[in-house]
Structure 1
Amino acid sequence: MTRDGRGLAAEARHSGKCVDVSQVSTTAGAKVHRWTCNPTGQGGPLNRTWRIWGR
């Protein structure tokens, strides 16, 4: 996990890819997959930025 000021990015060591929300969706149940970790492209880094909240 790396911090970028807005949240965390989860990057796989073996592939160098990040956990990413498909199609920059904000809908519950959206598909999550691995994607290139660069900040360009559809959605930029926001669909690869995560925040962890406690209950």
Structure 2
Amino acid sequence: MCSITKTKLSYEEINHVTVATFGHESKIMSIKELKGGFFNVAYLITFENNMKTV
């Protein structure tokens, strides 16, 4: 859903957040925007070690 309240993040911004949270060892394999909701954007992030986080 498109909403003016959702702030979309670039790959670089998402990578910066994940490195700050999980460390430099965390290599992103895929990023999928989760659809639905009205106010916040959420992403399913899969790392090379198959760990997943939202």
**TM band (smaller chain):** under 0.3
Flag the structure with higher helix content.
Answer: 2
Report which of the two structures shows the higher radius of gyration computed on alpha carbons: 2
